[in-house]
Structure 1
Amino acid sequence: MRNQIPLVDRLLRGSHAMELEPEEDAMPASPAGMLAARAGRARAQRGLSLRALAEKLGYPHTYLSRVERGEQLPSEALADALDEFYGTEGLFAELLVVAVAAEVPVYGRKVLEEEKRAARIQTFNSSVVPGLLQTENYASALFTESMPGKDAEQVALQVATRSHRRAVLDSSTPPLYWAIMDEAALRRPVGGPAVMADQFRHILDVIENNSAVRVQVLPFSCGVHPLLGGSLSLLTLRDGVTFAYVESFASGTPVDAPAEVLELTMLLDIARSKALDSRESVSLLRKYLKEYEDDIDS
């Protein structure tokens, strides 16, 4: 059973298995940075190499290396494995929760909290690939260009947070994930042809191998639709309650008033009615994939 002492108190007081004293003259660490540092320190205290730890935990050493460098957040399973191996009584699992929440804007935290409890997630994106379908390279290129003035570490944390969220689709009981995206998201070359080709291969692979995922494309030929210029997510929880999340530019708004949720659901239904069906959408994705692959070779 995990220690019930609040996380903040534990970070201040320390743990019997691993001291948590700040380094002299060190700047306050972000939760993600603290998690990475603690992981590296715990391994060093055991005198283990990354490869040796990988053999004991059953995870690739390259994955563990990215976690210790702060380039990727651990999965919940890895955080639990680290706690069990080091005897840290839930410290890594709790740091993971705080790290993920810290990198999500306040207005988006309700979505983060509810994604894991959702029975169905319906989403529309007008200009980029939906977040839970993004590859790390696509997300990195997207955040680098859309976060001017942010340093590489901040961008890496945003990418790591998005990568961690994708795990919801790989869970043992994933929600039905129904994504609709405007053809503009296919045409816009985020990160260049190689990144886009890899992104489309990933989407096609997910469609083929995950029966809980549906993807449709709204083609340019459909003309005007009611969701131009923004993104909308509808999360239906397992108790049947649905709430909406509307996002545009650098802000977002959770919506849970029944009348407003119903109105947004109707707008999404209209957009979906204009979209290509699953087979046609896959054909269009393959067409764009070939074009990006040809650009790489040219």
Structure 2
Amino acid sequence: MRRLRLRQGLTQRDLAEAIECDESQMSKVELGERALKRLELTAILAMLTIDDAERSELLVLGDKARELPTSPRNANLLPRTLRRLASYEADASEIFCTTTAFIPELLRVPDYVRAAAKTSFTPTRTSLDALVDFTAHRQKVLYQQKRIWFGIGEYALKDRTGGSLCMPEQLRFLLDIIDARSNVRVQVVPIAAMTHPLLTGVVTGLRFGDVVPDVVHQSSFEDGTFSENVTVTRACFRAFATLRRRAMSPETSRQFIARRCADLPEQAGE
């Protein structure tokens, strides 16, 4: 909704006036924290210059949005960019993510979420609990029929974020997802391949079919930036394809993770 609005030069206030609600409610809609009622969505679509096929598809998406659970408690304590990313993940048909030093957010167990957060900022207990709950909320996309690909830097799997007791649980969860979800593909990127321009932190690419343009998100500590520039998104998706070729195969990646998981108990006693 936000991208369609901006593309046509409209403000949140314009849309809010069309459905007679407060501007803050439109902000929540764009952050995925409030679903539009059918009549509200119909009124907004009447303002937009779109063809019948797009209008029909957006009405279907609106119906699906109303079926989704609302954001967990205290989600408002988290960065707006994170909430926006979660909204995009829920709407996307394909998700691609590369990480250098940490396990991807969508694949983290609660203890790892807490440990990783503490390495980049000093959260309060309430905000940390909110982040754990919100991560679980985001992970629902793993169990939907979306194509999801993760390129995980080898260093992230060799690191001991959260300590030796946390990592075995984290790696077992990775193996469980690999084995249970055919729509999720995990590939380990060797340290030797980390000179690739995408491996400079966390980069997420999102595709939405033919409804709206692709989006790329670059994480930066607690925040992040989005780009819908066609030149940028095309370059990123070409780079994702290159990275998939350079990474270990999915089968070899699973073996690598399993070996790493098996090695950890012995290391825990050192």
Q: Same fold (TM over 0.5)?
A: yes
Matched, 1:164 2:137: yes
Counterpart residue number, 2:197: 226
Contact 2:96 2:149 in 1 (8 A): yes
Any stretches of 5+ residues in structure 1 without a counterpart?
A: 10-75, 80-92
Asked if the contact 1:129–1:186 (Cα under 8 Å) also holds between the matched residues in 2, the reply is: yes
Distance between the aligned counterparts of 2:73 and 2:268, measured in 1? 40
How many Å separate the matches in 1 of 2:158 and 2:266? 14
Q: 1:277 and 2:256 equivalent? A: no
Are residues 236 and 103 of structure 1, via their aligned partners in 2, closer, same or farther at CA, if it must alter by over 3 Å? farther
CA distance in 2, matches of 1:192, 1:222: 26
Cα pair 1:126 1:227 within 8 Å, conserved: no
| Counterpart-to-counterpart distance in 1, 2:265 and 2:105 | 23
- TM-superposed CA distance for 1:226, in Å, is 1.8
Measured in 1, the distance between the counterparts of 2:160 and 2:223 equals: 24
The residue number in structure 2 matching 1:296 is 268
Aligned to 1:153: 126
Aligned-partner SS, 1:192: coil
- Amino acid across the alignment from 1:111: L
CA distance in 2, matches of 1:108, 1:78: 18
**Cα separation, 2, equivalents of 1:143 and 1:110:** 18
Give me the TM-score of the superposition, normalised by structure 1. 0.64
1:123 to partner: Cα distance: 0.5
Relative to structure 1, the CA distance from residue 248 to residue 239 in structure 2 (aligned partners, 3 Å threshold; closer, same or farther) is: same
Which residue number in structure 1 is paired with residue 178 of structure 2? 207
Q: Which amino acid aligns with 1:267?
A: A
Structure 2 residue runs of 5 or longer lacking an equivalent are: 1-18, 25-65
Structure 2 CA distance for aligned equivalents of residues 8 and 264 of structure 1: 34
Structure 1 residue 5 displacement after superposition: 10
Contact 1:229 1:248 in 2 (8 A): no
State whether residues 94 and 206 of structure 2, in contact with CA within 8 Å, keep that contact through their aligned partners in structure 1: yes
Is 1:189 the counterpart of 2:163? The answer is no
Equivalent AA in structure 1 for residue 203 of structure 2:
L
Give 1:290's aligned amino acid.
Answer: A
The higher radius of gyration belongs to: 1
Residue type of the partner of 1:193? S
Q: CA deviation at 1:237?
A: 1.0
Q: Distance in 2 between matches of 1:238 and 1:151?
A: 39
| TM-score with structure 2 setting the length | 0.70
Report the CA distance between 1:78 and its aligned residue: 11
- Return structure 1 stretches of 4+ with deviation > 4 angstroms: 4-9, 76-79
Aligned with 2:102 (options 128, 148, 151): 128
Distance in 1, matches of 2:164 and 2:89, equals: 31
For residues 20 and 137 of structure 2, what CA distance do their matches in structure 1 show?
26
Q: Deviations over 1:113-147 (max 9, x none)?
A: 12111111011011110111101111111123332
Answer whether contact 1:204 1:282 (CA < 8 A) is retained: yes
Question: Which residue is equivalent to 2:225?
Answer: 253
The aligned length equals: 212
Deviation at 1:98, TM superposition (A): 7.7
CA RMSD in angstroms comes to 2.9
* Correspondence 1:88-167 to 2 at 5 A: 93=70, 96=71, 99-100=74-75, 102-148=76-122, 150-167=123-140
CA contact (8 A) 2:72 2:133 kept: no
Distance 1:270 1:124 in 2: 12
Correspondences of 1:46-61 after superposition (within 5 Å): none
The whole-number CA distance in structure 2 between the counterparts of 1:195 and 1:5 is 49
Which AA in structure 2 matches 1:128?
F
* Cα distance, 1:280–1:232 mapped onto 2, change above 3 Å: same
What displacement does 1:77 show?
A: 8.6
Mapped to 1, the partners of 2:216 and 2:68 lie a distance apart of 31
1:235 aligns with 2:206: yes
How far is the alpha carbon of 1:224 from its aligned partner? Answer: 2.2
Distance 1:243 1:200 in 2: 29
